[in-house]
């Protein structure tokens, strides 16, 4: 029996028969009629929790809480089918007018794992890139709710995983973009998708280097500094990814004082400057292998006092205003 979730990252895009995939319990709403069997994993096997056709009830949520079951699974024929299921759930929850923003934030956060982990580990799959595109659309829709950034922000601070980092950077970037007047939906989408995929080039770097607790040596650092270009190359033939999103991926470590990488330019796109701020802030406020998480206040203070020359001053002020309100 495979370990839970193992099959998600493997053979992405290839059809298989009834494999088990992670499904966050938050996607099941009270009153939902289940369209597939739901399992949990116990003593090296999948155990049926609830059958297809049954209705999700209050008791089910309580039963999960009291038994300490953290993860649920459903069977699908392929990663594509799994993602389609998650997107159906995500769409109905995010667009629901009476579901509280807090709950929507939790669902967006919990689905970032199963959706974005496979996108980041299998970036050459067109189907999974479509999934990233759908996810950004839900993220943009979620941000129409009042207080959405604050609710999402409450879910940060944990260790810096690629999927939660991608979600936060995308959400902060879209919110900051809208705050400084980016209203055209095509532009908002390009910004959100570029931010979501900004570190996709890291999928080509040895995870041991990325999670190294100490200082990187020169060779390792040279390799890590290539991730913006690697990311741009990965996305080059993906029609679903706008040219502007690719530019963001390439430029998100460039700095306005020309001291960034890979090229050390000062002429980076406005959106790349937005993502640079969101990326830095989420990195500083998350637990990293080599550092503790800063409080939001300390992170912003550090960015203003120590890194100010690296960022667009007006954007940084707008970002601080946005997080203070």
Are the C-beta atoms of 200 and 167 separated by less than 8 Å? no
Number of amino acids touching Fe ion (CB under 5 A): 2
Task: Give the x/- contact pattern for Fe ion in 218-247, rule: CB under 5 A.
Answer: ------------------------------
Of 59-67, 155-163, 235-243, 273-281, which part binds Fe ion (CB under 5 A)? 273-281
* Dihedrals phi, psi of 86, to nearest 5 degrees: -65, -40
Rg of the chain taking only CA atoms, in angstroms = 20
Widest pairwise Cα distance in the chain: 59
Nearer to Fe ion by C-beta: 27 or 152? 152
Beta bridge partners of 163: none
Give how far the C-alpha of residue 127 lies from the chain's centroid of Cα atoms, to the nearest Å. 17
Q: Work out how close the CB of 165 gets to Fe ion at its nearest, in angstroms, rounded to a whole number.
A: 6
Backbone phi, then psi, for 116, in 5-degree steps?
A: -80, -25
Q: At what angle do helices 227-235 and 243-251 cross, to 10 degrees?
A: 170
Of 232 and 279, CB closest to Fe ion: 279
Q: Between 93 and 196, whose beta carbon lies closer to Fe ion? A: 196
Q: Decide: is 279 part of the binding site for Fe ion (CB under 5 A).
A: yes
**CB proximity list for 95: less than 8 A, separation 6 or greater:** 141
Residue 199 in the binding site for Fe ion (CB under 5 A): yes
Site string for Fe ion, 150-189 (x = CB under 5 A): ----------------------------------------
Residue 259, CA distances (Å) to 210, 262, 310 in order: 22, 9, 7
Q: Give the nearest distance from C-beta 224 to Fe ion in angstroms.
A: 9
- Shortest gap between Cβ of 198 and Fe ion (angstroms)? 6
Contacting range for Fe ion; rule: CB under 5 A; set: 57-65, 121-129, 130-138, 196-204: 196-204
CB-nearer residue toward Fe ion: 91 or 204: 204
Count the Cβ atoms, other than its own, within 10 Å of residue 55: 12
Enumerate binding residues for Fe ion (CB under 5 A). 199, 279
């Amino acid at each position: 029996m495979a370990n839970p979730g193992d099959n998600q990252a493997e053979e992405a895009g290839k059809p298989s028969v009834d494999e088990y995939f992670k499904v966050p319990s938050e996607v099941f709403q009270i009153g939902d009629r289940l369209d597939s069997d739901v399992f949990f994993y116990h003593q090296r096997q999948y155990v049926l929790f609830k059958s297809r056709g049954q209705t999700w009830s209050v008791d089910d949520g309580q039963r999960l809480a009291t038994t300490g079951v953290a993860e649920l699974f459903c069977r699908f024929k392929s990663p594509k089918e799994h993602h389609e299921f998650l997107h159906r759930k995500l769409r109905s929850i995010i667009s629901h007018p009476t579901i509280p923003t807090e709950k929507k934030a939790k669902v967006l956060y919990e689905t970032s794992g199963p959706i974005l982990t496979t996108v980041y580990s299998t970036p050459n799959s067109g189907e999974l890139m479509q999934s990233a595109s759908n996810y950004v659309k839900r993220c943009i829709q979620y941000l129409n709710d009042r207080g959405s950034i604050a609710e999402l922000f409450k879910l940060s601070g944990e260790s810096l995983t690629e999927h939660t980092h991608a979600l936060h950077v995308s959400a902060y970037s879209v919110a900051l973009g809208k705050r400084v007047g980016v209203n055209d939906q095509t532009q908002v989408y390009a910004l959100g998708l570029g931010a979501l995929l900004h570190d996709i080039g890291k999928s080509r770097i040895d995870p041991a280097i990325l999670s190294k607790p100490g200082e990187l040596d020169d060779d390792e650092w040279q390799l890590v500094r290539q991730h913006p270009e690697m990311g741009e190359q990965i996305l080059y033939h993906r029609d679903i990814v706008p040219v502007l999103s690719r530019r963001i991926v390439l430029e998100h470590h460039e700095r306005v004082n020309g001291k960034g990488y890979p090229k050390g330019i000062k002429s980076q796109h406005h959106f790349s400057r937005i993502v640079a701020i969101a990326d830095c802030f989420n990195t500083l406020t998350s637990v990293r292998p080599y550092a503790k998480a800063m409080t939001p206040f300390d992170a912003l203070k550090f960015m203003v006092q120590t890194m100010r020359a690296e960022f667009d001053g007006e954007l940084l002020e707008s970002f601080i205003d946005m997080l203070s309100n």
